[in-house]
Amino acid sequence: MNFEYNEKTQALLEKLRAFMKDEVYPIEQEYIHAVENGKDRWKTPAMMQALKQKAREAGLWNLFLPEEYKPYGAGLTNAEYAPLCEEMGRVLFSSEIFNCSAPDTGNMEVLAKYGNEAQQEKWLVPLLNGEIRSAFAMTEPAVASSDATNIETSITRDGDEYVINGKKWYTSGAMNENCKIMVVMGKTDFDAPRHQQQSQILVPMDTKGVTIVRPMAAMGFYDEPIGHAEVLFENVRVPAENLLVGEGKGFEIAQGRLGPGRIHHCMRLIGCAQRALDMACERVESRIAFGKPLAKQQSIRETIAKMHCDIEQARLLTLKAADKMDRYGNKVSRDLIAAIKIVAPTMACNVIDDAIQMHGAAGTSQDFVLSAMYAYARTIKLADGPDQVHMMQLGRNLIADKNA
Ligand SMILES: Cc1cc2nc3c(=O)[nH]c(=O)nc-3n(C[C@H](O)[C@H](O)[C@H](O)COP(=O)(O)OP(=O)(O)OC[C@H]3O[C@@H](n4cnc5c(N)ncnc54)[C@H](O)[C@@H]3O)c2cc1C
């Protein structure tokens, strides 16, 4: 067992840290201000494009795509990508700079793995180049979508086309003006066996019948300029060749995308939590209460120590899951992926909450990024499967394994 990052990872990490220090932290507040005060809240500020260009030139591009997708990605293993993704997680919008942000990463993996040549040419190439953005529409307001077999959106074959009807919400990314394509999950056969009813289909955003109803808030944040949309599909017609793989394969594709997507969220959350701890350590050194710096209070030191322990535990579990994915594949690693998806969001919520407390009122203010970080961490207890569903499945597997 070796706990050191290999040379390739260390070199990339050094480069990424330098990029974050020189290019990202200095403009963090400016970017947030530009988003909040721009004329169009769903338009990505111009500085993003310039940063993307620099990142690409620096070789910090598409780092998330593992070896199997070469020549598309950087060819890193999950374990090699983990500390890099963590570093990006320190600034909420920074993953996009390196073309490593959700939901594009999941959509690119789906297109690389399941798309045909024409679909890849039309959608994967511009996504890999960071020219467009994308969304994934599965969750529906009308049904408990944590059980994906419940979804009701219909995808009906009509000659050379499919006709889509339904309503989705929390479709992340769909508010952004640069979002050009949605991967939509619906049902092609309501009478088929439970896990063969679903299919996934590509729907360009400008297709007739697609209506953005409203942006959805997540803990009061609208996450501009990306956003989470409520989307109505009314007799939306797309060519039959927009279907991914084939009818009845939707569930299989969804499972395939969620493994890497889930662990990437955990990696980012570890970065978020680490930054919150770093900020807390600085704050308690400079803030004087009752005659001495907060840092000299025993309870503050204990909390700081506990924050560190919790982050380190989650980091090691993430790396163990990533390593198993690299060695044995995503399917065999499902229990460790579930375990870290249960652990990381709650860990991050608790650590960020402690950091907010140590900052006092400032921790809740617009001058610090902690409240937005907290909201992000809290929503990941729901997104990509609520904690309870992961616990239900992990518990079931563990009991079954013991009794096999
Ligand atoms: C910020 C954000 C971004 C999102 N982005 C996307 C996106 O891009 N695309 C997309 O399709 N969806 C997205 N989602 C939606 C997310 O995936 C769903 O909210 C999630 O799957 C839960 O579905 P639901 O909201 O319908 O909750 P429900 O299915 O109604 O479940 C409600 C609660 O019931 C509990 N529960 C469920 N099953 C069990 C069980 N077996 N045992 C015990 N308790 C249980 C859980 O606590 C769960 O939270 C996003 C959500 C958020 C908050």
Measure the CA–CA gap between 91 and 98, rounded to whole angstroms. Answer: 12
Q: Nearest-5° angle of CA 94, CA 261, CA 16?
A: 30
pLDDT at position 71 over 80: no
Whole-number average pLDDT of the chain: 95
Q: Is the pLDDT of residue 349 over 90?
A: yes
Residue extent(s) of CATH 1.20.140.10 domains in the chain: 251-402
Domain with CATH 2.40.110.10 in the chain: 133-247
Rounded distance, CA 79 to CA 72, Å?
18
pLDDT at 346 over 80: yes
Q: Residue 6 is encoded by which pair of tokens? A: 């290999």
To test the pocket of ligand 1, the residue of 145, 184, 203, 374 to mutate (highest count of ligand atoms within 8 Å of its CB) is 145
**What's residue 255's pLDDT?**
80
Stretch 144-163: mean pLDDT: 97
Q: Are 114 and 250 in contact (CB under 8 A)?
A: no
Distance between Cα 384 and ligand 1 center (Å): 7
pTM for the structure as a whole:
0.96
Question: Which residue ranges have their beta carbon within 6 Å of ligand 1?
Answer: 103, 136-139, 144-146, 170-172, 218, 228, 379, 382-383, 385-386, 388-389, 392
- Please provide the CATH number assigned to the domain covering 251-402: 1.20.140.10
**pLDDT 10s digits, 10-30:** 999 999 999 999 999 999 999
- Structure token pair of residue 210: 């697609």
Residue 174 CA: nearest ligand 1 atom is: 8
User: Phi, psi (5° rounding) for residue 222?
Assistant: -95, -5
- In this prediction, residue 74 carries a pLDDT of 82
User: The domain at 133-247 falls in which architecture?
Assistant: Beta Barrel (2.40)
**Banded pLDDT at 395 (limits 50, 70, 90):** very high
Mutate to test the pocket of ligand 1, among 105, 110, 133, 146 (most ligand atoms within 8 A of CB): 146
Quickly name the fold that domain 7-128 has. Answer: Butyryl-Coa Dehydrogenase, subunit A; domain 1 (1.10.540)
- Quote the tokens at residue 11: 């070199």
Task: Determine the pLDDT at residue 164.
Answer: 98
pLDDT bin (cut points 50, 70, 90) of residue 365 is very high
Q: Whose CA is nearest to atom 52 of ligand 1?
A: 383
Kindly write down the DSSP assignment for every residue of 86-117, as one continuous string.
HHHTTSTTHHHHTT--TTHHHHHHHHHHH--H
Instruction: Count CB atoms within 10 A of the CB of residue 110.
Output: 25
| Overall average pLDDT of the 387-398 stretch | 97
pLDDT at 118 over 80: yes
